[in-house]
Amino acid sequence: MADTLIRLRDDAASTAPVLTLAEIAGVSNAAAVRLVPGDDARALLPLIDQLELVEIAFPAYTDGRGYSAARILREYGYRGELRAVGDVLVDQISHYARCGFDAYQPDQPLTRAAVDKAIATWPEVYQRTVDGRVPIWALRHG
Amino acid sequence: MYLYDTYDQAMVDARVAEFSDQVARRLAGTLSEEQFRPLRLKNGLYLQLHAYMLRVAIPYGTLNARQMEMLGQIADRYDRGYGHFTTRQNIQYNWIRLDDAPAILADLASVGMHAIQTSGNCIRNTTADHFAGAAADEVADPRPYAELLRQWSTFHPEFDYLPRKFKVAIIGSETDRAAMKLHDIGIQVVKNAAGETGLRVHVGGGMGRTPMIGPVIRDWLPPLQMISYLEAALRVYNRYGRRDNKYKARIKILVHELGAAAYAREVEAEFAHILTLGLEPPQAEFDRIKAQFADPAFDAAAPHDIDLSDPDFALWVDQNVHPHKAPGYGIVTISLKPVGGIPGDASADQIRLMARLARAYSFDELRVTHAQNIVLPHVRRADLYTIWQALDGAALASANLDLISDIIACPGLDYCSLANARSIPLAQKISQRFGDIQRQRDLGELKLKISGCINACGHHHAGHIGVLGVDRKGLENYQLLFGGSEGADTSLGAIIGPGFSEDGVVDAIEAATNVYLAHRSGDERFLDTYRRIGSAPFKQAIYG
């Protein structure tokens, strides 16, 4: 059974209206926003503590700007939901997870089981990112 | 050389499992060809004119005898008994069946090899000076950095869907043997007056349809900030590189459009942030890797002087053996460019022979050069004659390194779906026209490079003489360029005039070499004479 929204979080999904980057400028209590490729994720940094949901759109999975946007938000301490939306396919899930995504809203059917399997693709990782995994170079040196 | 530990091996094994699953889904029809294409490309599997082509990674061009033997076995078992060594220091197999790909990858993994990121819009296999750790002129060994880069770039989650492919090259001597400035990022390991090691970083070089020499973006970088700096350089590219036009998507266009200084400022800002995140492997990890590149146990008593009374052998030693840092040793380059042959091709038997020679005489190590030859990096000069005899018996003793028949050529229209013209038959005709080795030696160093289309896989922009195959009203046509170089004096060649037929371009090249011989002053190479006298005398001789 395919789900339309797969969340790897325990909290309740935000019900706030999802605004564009242009729209949040005039809204003091914005809680949900959608970034599209080309948006500067750093524009959200002043709101990082009040945001519950950031959707990052992938109109085509081959456009990788959203990976940087996600990782930047996590690097600056964003703790809310980070949702990949659009052309989100199972073969990119492990990378999404490593860049801080914890929710997926794919255009094509995708199952929770497939997501879990994809995230487990790599027994270890070579890079330190924002997912908390200990890189191989750290494992080697205790 | 670097040997995988259990972590490295587990990563390669995981990739085999993942890709085998992807192939199975494709064969079962649950993945469309459109969905599968980028996935197979990330594993070096192309669909060419006649069959699938598999590009196998040889990180920084270094491999041991066991790995080399496996390359021969794969050529026999899954291809047509040969492989093609490429300008990316890799090997390609041109006659692969899709359903064999998982088995090939499993065979490769059994010797610590893979095809990871040999294609696709990701960070490609890192290339390096093929004489690293052996050259007499080396300032610092680039291989430990190259291995750090290999690990960092492997399955990097942020940079797997870049605007375009991304190639990093690294060198550690003033002599550039890796065309470093013609890569997306080129790194030179340098030392300052105090003897401290640093990295000089070029960004935005490349060939293709818009060739550019990469400007210096960071003149001095502490070595253990390399990964953090590259994270920054790549992030700026991933965010701001053009995605509206694939022909303007390489980082060279971004650096060019922003300007090198503005790009550098963007990178510095990102770098300052990234340095706070602790992404850099520690000194202990660098030391662990570096220890694996320690010098082999050179024989301190190895004699320098050897018997050169066999004139053919003496010729080969003079042309194909470079000075080694250890007394009594030499660096052997095995030419894969016999007269009339296909540049870079080697049969399974030749591959196995080279592996055996490496095991017996070169501390179990080989290198692939970007000029499509094979190097035995650490050879006792006293063993050279034995090696030469073995090579000679296998048609591998061409004494033509860096001469006009040592041609770089892409696969061209014989194999490649992107090509406009054939490269291989032209390379064969040129090497036959200049077949006489004494004639070649009289012409001296003359780097001739052929690309079958504007994508420049044959490095034609960087040839002292470059040839670019184009399609002219449905006919193969060849443009001629002069004045390119990939060395420390990197320059881009310029088209001399209207194009030629296949035979016409061979005649034009011969005419150009005659101009050179008539104008040469002292020890000038063809390139030096061309730079000094300009294109006019060459145009006059070629076009009248």
Contacts of B465 (CB under 8 A, 6+ apart): B404, B446, B447, B448, B449, B480, B481, B482, B493, B509, B512, B526
pLDDT of residue A3: 57
Whether the CB of A99 is below 8 Å from some CB of chain B: the reply is yes
Q: List domains and CATH numbers for chain A.
A: 6-140 (3.40.50)
The DSSP bridge pattern shows strands A103-106 and A81-86 to be parallel
| Phi, psi (rounded to 5 degrees) for B507 | -60, -40
**Integer CA distances (angstroms), B18 to A29, A117, B102, B118, in order:** 44, 11, 10, 16
Considering CB atoms only, which of A124, A129, A139 is closest to B157? A129
CA distance B290 to chain A (A): 14
* Cα A122 to the center of its chain, rounded Å: 19
3-class SS of residue A99:
coil
Q: Distance (Å, rounded) from C-alpha B97 to C-alpha B38?
A: 18
Q: What is the pLDDT of residues B370-411, one digit of tens each?
A: 999 999 999 999 999 999 999 999 999 999 999 999 999 999
Mutation target vs B (from A117, A124, A126, A130; most B CBs, 10 A cutoff):
A126
Q: Is the dihedral of CA B250, B223, B9, B58 positive or negative?
A: positive
DSSP category for residue B407: -
Tokens found for residue B435? 């077949």
CA distance B466 to chain A (A): 34
* ipTM exceeds 0.85: yes
**Averaged pLDDT for residues B119-131:** 96
Instruction: Round the CA-based radius of gyration of chain B to a whole number and report it.
Output: 23
Q: Which residue of B has its CA nearest to A41?
A: B239
pLDDT of residue B326: 98
Please check whether residue B326 is in contact with residue B302, taking contact to mean a CB–CB distance below 8 angstroms: yes
Rounded to the nearest integer, the mean pLDDT of chain A is: 95
CB pairs under 8 A between A and B: 93
Q: Distance (Å, rounded) from C-alpha B511 to C-alpha B528?
A: 17
Q: Is the pLDDT of residue B527 over 90?
A: yes
Q: What is the pLDDT of residues B220-261, one digit of tens each?
A: 999 999 999 999 999 999 999 999 999 999 999 999 999 999
B495, with CB counted inside 10 A (0-12, 13-18, 19+), is middle
Q: Is the pLDDT of residue A1 over 50?
A: no
Tokens found for residue A99? 């860049």
pLDDT of residue B291: 98
Q: Distance (Å, rounded) from C-alpha B502 to C-alpha B472?
A: 12
Q: What is the pLDDT of residues B7-35, one digit of tens each?
A: 999 999 999 999 999 999 999 998 888 88
Q: What is the pLDDT of residues A29-63, one digit of tens each?
A: 999 999 999 999 999 999 999 999 999 999 999 99
Q: Using an 8 Å CB-CB cutoff, list chain A residues near B238.
A: 64-65, 67-68
Nearest CA among B179, B182, B54, B60 for reference residue B119: B54
Whether the CB of A133 is below 8 Å from some CB of chain B: the reply is no
**Averaged pLDDT for residues A112-136:** 96
Q: Distance (Å, rounded) from C-alpha B331 to C-alpha B329?
A: 7
**Averaged pLDDT for residues B439-451:** 98
Contacts of A54 (CB under 8 A, 6+ apart): A32, A33, A34, A35, A44, A73, A78, A80, A81, A82, A83
Q: Which residue of B has its CA nearest to A37?
A: B239
Question: Three-state SS string across B49-107, please?
Answer: CCCEEEEEECHHHEECHHHHHHHHHHHHHHCCCEEEECCCCCEEEEEECHHHHHHHHHH
Q: List domains and CATH numbers for chain B.
A: 6-109 (3.90.480.20), 134-291 (3.30.413.10), 311-392 (3.30.70), 408-543 (3.30.413.10)
Q: Is there a contact between B157 and A127 if contact means CB atoms under 8 Å apart?
A: yes
Q: Using an 8 Å CB-CB cutoff, list chain B residues near A94.
A: 157
Please check whether residue B512 is in contact with residue B538, taking contact to mean a CB–CB distance below 8 angstroms: yes
Q: What is the pLDDT of residues B465-523, one digit of tens each?
A: 999 999 999 999 999 999 999 999 999 999 999 999 999 999 999 999 999 999 999 99
Q: What is the DSSP string of B473-536?
A: TTEEEEEEEE--B-STT-B--EE-SS-B-HHHHHHHHHHHHHHHHHH--TT--HHHHHHHH-SH
Q: What is the pLDDT of residues B308-320, one digit of tens each?
A: 999 999 999 999 9
Q: Which residues make beta-bridge pairs with B482? A: B465, B494
Rounded to the nearest integer, the mean pLDDT of chain B is: 96
Q: Which residue of A has its CA nearest to B156?
A: A127
Tokens found for residue A129? 């990112």
